[in-house]
């Protein structure tokens, strides 16, 4: 039976932040389980900075169903955790079930990947103190307020956490996340 990897989503999760890891993990043979506040269909969004803009423009994108609600997740059943970006983390970080799930992965030293605004979830879970963390520059304050060190690089690994700035870095941090998962499989 393949090992399971949990992906966190909600309405306004960024499509490329989410879909690239979803299919990359499946391609490698992992059972990918998508979790949200409820087990239902969620609306993903596309984020880009148009020429001449200083801020991200958001547009509608694909939809994705969550297989399971946060309240029903048994984190001990999962090998790794992927925390996606977009605007979803802004409100997902208030979900106490998600906070417990996130803390489990750090306490158990299991592989965790975070991209872009996903840092808002791991920062709210109070698990990045003392760690070097990459995220989109406009979320650097979330890292520093949580006791971490913001690093403006496409792939930063610190212990069980690998992080990237945006979906533009998927090919960098996902390569490292896949290595981390493979090493964790060998240890099981």
Find residue 150's DSSP bridge partners. 133
Query: Which of 170, 177, 7, 12 lies closest to 89, judged by CA?
Result: 12
Report the pLDDT value the prediction gives residue 77, as an integer from 0 to 100: 97
Residues 6+ apart with CB under 8 A from 77: 4
Q: What is the mean pLDDT of residues 3-9?
A: 98
For residue 188, the tally of other CB atoms under 10 A from its CB is 6
- Among 63, 117, 168, 171, the active-site one is 117
- Residue 70: pLDDT band (50, 70, 90) is very high
Report the pLDDT value the prediction gives residue 56, as an integer from 0 to 100: 85
55 has a pLDDT exceeding 90: no
Q: What is the mean pLDDT of residues 131-143?
A: 97
Q: Which helix (H) or strand (E) holds 178?
A: helix 170-187
Report the pLDDT value the prediction gives residue 188, as an integer from 0 to 100: 83
Residues 6+ apart with CB under 8 A from 76: 104, 108
Query: Which of 166, 125, 167 lies closest to 142, judged by CA?
Result: 125
Q: Measured between alpha carbons, how far is 64 from 18 in angstroms, rounded to an integer?
A: 9
Lowest mean pLDDT among 5-14, 52-61, 80-89, 176-185: 52-61
1 has a pLDDT exceeding 80: no
15 has a pLDDT exceeding 90: yes
Query: Which of 16, 22, 10 lies closest to 47, judged by CA?
Result: 16
Residues 6+ apart with CB under 8 A from 99: 93, 124, 125
Report the pLDDT value the prediction gives residue 114, as an integer from 0 to 100: 98
Report the pLDDT value the prediction gives residue 121, as an integer from 0 to 100: 98
Report the pLDDT value the prediction gives residue 2, as an integer from 0 to 100: 82
Q: For Cα atoms 40, 136, 176, give the angle at the middle one, nearest 5 degrees.
A: 80
Q: Which 8-state DSSP code applies to residue 14?
A: B
Question: Into how many domains does the chain fold?
Answer: 1
Average pLDDT score over the chain: 97
150 has a pLDDT exceeding 90: yes
CATH code for the domain of 72:
3.40.50.880
Range of the domain at 111: 4-187
Q: What is the mean pLDDT of residues 55-83?
A: 95
48 has a pLDDT exceeding 90: no
Indicate the pTM of the whole model: 0.96
8 φ, ψ (degrees, to nearest 5): -95, 130
158 has a pLDDT exceeding 80: yes
Residues 6+ apart with CB under 8 A from 152: 134, 137, 140, 165
Q: Which helix (H) or strand (E) holds 123?
A: helix 119-124
Find residue 46's DSSP bridge partners. 59
Question: Is 117 noted as a catalytic residue in this protein?
Answer: yes
47 φ, ψ (degrees, to nearest 5): -115, 135
Report the pLDDT value the prediction gives residue 49, as an integer from 0 to 100: 85
């Amino acid at each position: 039976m393949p090992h399971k990897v949990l992906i966190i989503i909600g309405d306004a999760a960024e499509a490329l932040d989410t879909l690239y890891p979803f299919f990359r993990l499946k391609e490698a043979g992992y059972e990918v389980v998508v979790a949200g506040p409820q087990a239902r269909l969620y609306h993903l969004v596309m984020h880009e900075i148009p020429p001449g803009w200083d801020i991200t423009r958001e547009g509608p994108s694909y939809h994705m169903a969550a297989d399971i609600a946060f309240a029903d997740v048994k984190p001990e059943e999962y090998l790794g955790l992927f925390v996606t970006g977009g605007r979803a983390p802004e409100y997902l970080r208030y979900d106490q079930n998600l906070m417990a799930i996130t803390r489990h992965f750090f306490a158990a030293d299991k592989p965790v990947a975070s991209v872009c605004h996903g840092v808002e979830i791991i920062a709210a879970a109070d698990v990045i103190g003392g760690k070097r963390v990459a995220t989109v520059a406009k979320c650097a304050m979330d890292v520093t307020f949580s006791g971490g060190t913001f690093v403006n690089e496409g792939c930063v690994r610190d212990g069980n956490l690998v992080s990237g700035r945006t979906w533009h870095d998927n090919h960098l941090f996902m390569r490292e996340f896949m290595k981390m998962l493979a090493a964790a499989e060998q240890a099981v």
